[in-house]
Amino acid sequence: MKWNCGISFVLFAFTVTGLGAQDTFQLAPPYLRYESVFFTKEARVTIEFAQPGTRIHYNINNLGPTEKDSIYTAPIIIKKNTDLLSARVFGEGFLPSETVWARFYKQGFQIKSVTTPPPHEQYPGNGKQTLIDGKGGINSYQSNNWMGFQTNETTLFLTLQKAQKVTQVLVHLLQNQDAWIFLPSKIEVYGAKKGTKNWTFLGAQEMRNTTVKAQRASCQAIIANIAKPIKVKEIMLKITPLLSIPDWHPGKGNPAWIFLDEIIVY
């Protein structure tokens, strides 16, 4: 079973919350099961919880399911890009569980090949195909779906199956500050026509909050929007890491790691 971003893996349990002289039990969160957060046509999601007499309520594109939301009775089919599915367990006499969630990403243009600099020897992923295989979305940096880099800049080259008018580029990253893995400070996108290396700047996304302390590990999708889309077949991505970890961190002053598991071009 996979540990997925934003998901707790507990099927039958509860915790105790003190409320004056009497304790009230809080239901454990449900488990979202799916093959990957990346899909081509649709993603199929099942929600599991083993406590009798409870109900799983869920919604899409809202992080706070209530008892007024839909009750889970059958697998949920996700078809739209960046849909956010969230779920919560309710039961008579119990406090509702915490909310679990997962965001799903539809695949874009077909990518023929990708070229990467050598990743760190401890975090090679599954080779360069790691970034275009439609797998991942797991918040453990030890998963072989992540490629880890610790350089001043990571430059990637992608070749599309055919020339396309590109409007967005999505880069899926891991944030685990306890492991010195921070979101990058900037992502730049360049494009070129077939057979040329005359790169045209298409757009960039700068992250201003990458040094803010995060409470837990999470997967993050960073989208660089292209202001003036043009038709290209070659794409170059320049990913600049956080070059100096902030003072509040034990690794202050050192360069941060970047962990990548998927790139999608729209």
pLDDT for residue 146? 97
Residue 122 confidence (pLDDT) above 90: yes
Q: Looking at the structure, do residues 234 and 256 belong to the same domain, yes or no?
A: yes
Question: Which residues sit opposite 78 in a β-bridge?
Answer: 43
Q: Looking at the structure, do residues 26 and 59 belong to the same domain, yes or no?
A: yes
pLDDT for residue 10? 41
pLDDT for residue 199? 96
pLDDT for residue 197? 79
* Residue 8 domain-assigned (yes or no): no
Q: Looking at the structure, do residues 18 and 136 belong to the same domain, yes or no?
A: no
Query: For the domain that residue 72 is a member of, what is the CATH number?
Result: 2.60.40
Residue 53 confidence (pLDDT) above 70: yes
Domain that holds residue 247: 108-265
pLDDT for residue 211? 93
Residue 266 confidence (pLDDT) above 50: yes
For residue range 235-249, what is the model confidence (pLDDT) as tens digits?
Answer: 999 999 999 999 999
Question: Sheet of 43-48: strands edge to edge?
Answer: 31-33, 43-48, 76-78
22 — pLDDT class (breaks 50, 70, 90)? low
* Residue 1 domain-assigned (yes or no): no
9 — pLDDT class (breaks 50, 70, 90)? very low
